[in-house]
Chain A
Amino acid sequence: MATASPPLLAVEDLQIRFHTLRGVVHALDGVSFEIARGESIGLVGETGCGKSITARAILRLVDPPGRITAGSIRFEGTELLTLDRRAMRTIRGQKISMIMQEPKVSLNPVMRIGRQVAETLLIHDRSLSHRQAEAKARDMLGSVSIPDPARMAQRYPHELSGGMAQRVMIAMMLVTRPRLLIADEPTSALDVTIQAQILDLMTDLIAEIGSSVLMISHDLAVVAETCDRVIVMYAGTVVESGTVDAVLDEPSHPYTRGLLNTLPDQVDPDRPLQSIPGNVPSLLAPPVGCRFAPRCPEAGPRCRRETPAAYDVGAGHVAACFLHADGGVA
């Protein structure tokens, strides 16, 4: 994907540390990726691999004891990490929004939902009257397929089902038509029957608005369904990235291969499920060299000595593994 214009979002060498009583947690190390305009990117990995903190870093909402210690995040050419707080607030919600994992607890329990969707508009447009904002909010509730929006706007969050609450959340986050939508496991808290509905709804709205998407998920199926490209993370580093087809058809990092092997096989459903042996390393003292080396079936001495760079394995498909480097793992 060689585009002349700068990407919508460019994350470079992002490093996040948590200074805790038990030591320094290396939550994120040298994470780099780009998102083009209108592109959907999936961020996959196990719990604790740094997916969510990456998302929070983009919005600059990393709370202490966490700190962004190095790197750069450029959005439409503007460096976000050095932006003053007021300017950052105009980016949040207006240019970049985030859909949260638990819709039911992410809504203000004492605010009627119509008012809550209107709040997004009111935060960013002081000239808007409450009446106008609520009218727009009602339209938006209709756009996320909430039946009878005028009546539902008067309800409180606890009166909604999980699926309805997530629709409200989507309405809140998309009513300003942001350029980038971060979706942090938007369907994990929902019933399986509702998940597909919500994903379809999101994809439709996003196509309509033309936003880019950063979809965070541990569910490869969700990513395969909705994204153009995928980034695989492991223990705070990016291990592989490329188009969804390339990565899922020809996984080039042993971790990605392991991850795909944990899924049930559609063709041969009787094949026993495989797990990746070992545990995720402690990020208090991450292993030297490749962070996956201790669990990797193909690791060699070089993997425990040096940190692999991102090696090209095909059109825009890269893997941080010495298997693809000159000289191999030896």
Chain B
Amino acid sequence: MTDLPGTPAVLDRAEIRRLRRAARYRSWGDSYTLWRRNPITVAGTLIIVFLVLVAAAAPLLATHDPYNQILSDRLLPPSAEYWFGTDNLGRDIYSRIVYGSRLTILIAVLVALISGPIGLLVGVLAGYVGGATDEVLMRLSDIFLAFPKLILAIAFAAALGTGLENMIIAISVANWPGYARLVRAETLAIRNSDYIQAIRVLGASHARIMLRHVTPMCFSTLIVRVSLDMGAIILIAAGLGFLGLGAQPPAPEWGLMVSDGRNYLVDQWWVSTLPGMAILIVVLGFNLLGDGIRDILDPRQRQG
């Protein structure tokens, strides 16, 4: 231990634990205040919470088996028996939407978990190391960014073959370059800041600086961007499903369901419209939530 002057009496462990817990509670309390202050964030949160609850309680909420075909009941309009009507194979649309929420969450979360870290890694590396590494990584991401995301995802999905897993990979591949750019820009600003100089003076290795001092600073920007992108990810997934490149029948994927109803749009509008509404509401919810997260994660907005 140090024997420097003015060292106070050692605090006991319980006291330290208590102080740390108090600091954590204070930070949660601040987060709650910032969240509550913005009604749009609250609305977004409620929509997403609702989506998660529906997905979790799908077996309880569904009134029918989402896969069960009753051909004599095909294309029935919404009624007390079939709340959202039935599709062309006589399946209950309400139950299919309820189960489809599970697929939607799975896709959005997996794509975020795959493309976010890839973008973070590439971005920090390019921005911090610079030089040839930066050039190579950024030109590579330029190539990806030259195509619209949906087109790129279609191309990869077509090349990898149809199916849910391949669709998730395809969307992730189309998604990471945007994150890499964002993180690189952030890293460039951080790299020259005084506190990185200070930590260099202390003898930290480049790997340590990147991992512990640059990456955490990029988190808040990246999380905001990813949560804003959640809506777009779900839209692309629905688009691929609609085109038959994503989830395959009979999966209750919303995009696929919209596609199923294409031929009946005029007379049996509910087959396409109701899954479409589900997509719209969820995408809206993610977009509203994403905006709010930025405010909450910014530590400078907090009071001491």
Q: Is the CB of A108 within 8 A of B213?
A: yes
Greatest chain B CB density within 10 A among A151, A159, A172 is at A151
Residue of A nearest to B8 (CB): A142
Q: How far does the Cβ of B49 sit from chain A's closest Cβ, in whole Å?
A: 27
Which segment, of A34-42, A97-105, A228-236, A298-306, faces chain B? A97-105
Among B261-304, those with CB < 8 Å from A are 299-300, 304
A143 partner, pick from B5, B20, B202, beta carbons under 8 A: B5
Q: How far does the Cβ of A200 sit from chain B's closest Cβ, in whole Å?
A: 12
**Is A93 an interface residue when CB atoms closer than 8 A count as contact?**
yes
Task: Tell me, in angstroms, the Cα distance from A111 to B213 when the chains sit together.
Answer: 9
Q: How far does the Cβ of B283 sit from chain A's closest Cβ, in whole Å?
A: 31
Q: Is the CB of A158 within 8 A of B202?
A: no
**Is A268 an interface residue when CB atoms closer than 8 A count as contact?**
no
Q: How far does the Cβ of B192 sit from chain A's closest Cβ, in whole Å?
A: 9
Q: How far does the Cβ of B69 sit from chain A's closest Cβ, in whole Å?
A: 54
Q: Is the CB of A107 within 8 A of B198?
A: yes
Q: Is the CB of A151 within 8 A of B19?
A: yes
Q: Is the CB of A110 within 8 A of B4?
A: no
Which segment, of A6-14, A20-28, A132-140, faces chain B? A132-140
Interface residue tally on A, bucketed by range: 35 or more
B205 partner, pick from A89, A205, A209, beta carbons under 8 A: A89
Tell me the dominant secondary structure on chain B's binding face: helix
Q: Is the CB of B195 within 8 A of A106?
A: yes
Q: Is the CB of A140 within 8 A of B197?
A: no
Q: Is the CB of B300 within 8 A of A92?
A: no
Known: A61-B197, A105-B194, A109-B195. A208 touches B5 (CB 8 A): yes
Residue of B nearest to A55 (CB): B201
Q: Is the CB of A138 within 8 A of B6?
A: no
Among B193-212, those with CB < 8 Å from A are 193-195, 197-205, 208, 212
Q: How far does the Cβ of B79 sit from chain A's closest Cβ, in whole Å?
A: 55
Q: Is the CB of A110 within 8 A of B217?
A: yes
Q: Is the CB of B200 within 8 A of A92?
A: yes
Task: Tell me, in angstroms, the Cα distance from A89 to B8 when the chains sit together.
Answer: 31
Task: Tell me, in angstroms, the Cα distance from A210 to B299 when the chains sit together.
Answer: 38
**Is A90 an interface residue when CB atoms closer than 8 A count as contact?**
yes
Known: A105-B194, A123-B208, A150-B15. A98 touches B6 (CB 8 A): no
Task: Tell me, in angstroms, the Cα distance from A209 to B10 when the chains sit together.
Answer: 21
Residue of B nearest to A184 (CB): B201
Q: Is the CB of B201 within 8 A of A97?
A: yes
**Is A175 an interface residue when CB atoms closer than 8 A count as contact?**
yes
Known: A61-B197, A61-B201, A109-B299. A139 touches B304 (CB 8 A): no
**Is A321 an interface residue when CB atoms closer than 8 A count as contact?**
no
Q: Is the CB of A105 within 8 A of B193?
A: yes
Q: How far does the Cβ of A236 sit from chain B's closest Cβ, in whole Å?
A: 21
Task: Tell me, in angstroms, the Cα distance from A90 to B20 when the chains sit together.
Answer: 32
Contacts of B148 in A (CB 8 A): none
**Is B216 an interface residue when CB atoms closer than 8 A count as contact?**
yes
Task: Tell me, in angstroms, the Cα distance from A194 to B216 when the chains sit together.
Answer: 32
Q: Is the CB of A143 within 8 A of B195?
A: no
Among A67-102, those with CB < 8 Å from B are 88-94, 97-98, 100, 102
Task: Tell me, in angstroms, the Cα distance from A287 to B230 when the chains sit together.
Answer: 62
Greatest chain A CB density within 10 A among B2, B7, B20 is at B2
**Is A295 an interface residue when CB atoms closer than 8 A count as contact?**
no
Q: Is the CB of A143 within 8 A of B6?
A: yes
Q: How far does the Cβ of A133 sit from chain B's closest Cβ, in whole Å?
A: 12
**Is A149 an interface residue when CB atoms closer than 8 A count as contact?**
yes
Contacts of A100 in B (CB 8 A): 194, 197-198, 201
Q: How far does the Cβ of A143 sit from chain B's closest Cβ, in whole Å?
A: 4
Contacts of A120 in B (CB 8 A): 202
Known: A106-B198, A123-B203. A205 touches B193 (CB 8 A): no
Q: Mark B1-41, 1 if CB is under 8 A from A, else 0.
A: 11011111011000110011001000000000000000000
Q: How far does the Cβ of A314 sit from chain B's closest Cβ, in whole Å?
A: 36
What are 26 A-B interface contacts by the 8 Å CB criterion? Answer: A61-B201, A92-B203, A93-B201, A94-B203, A100-B194, A105-B193, A105-B194, A108-B195, A110-B216, A110-B299, A119-B202, A123-B202, A123-B205, A135-B10, A139-B1, A139-B2, A143-B6, A145-B6, A150-B15, A150-B19, A151-B19, A154-B20, A154-B23, A158-B299, A169-B198, A208-B4
Give 7 closest A-B pairs by Cβ, nearest first: A92-B203, A93-B202, A93-B203, A143-B4, A154-B23, A159-B304, A106-B198
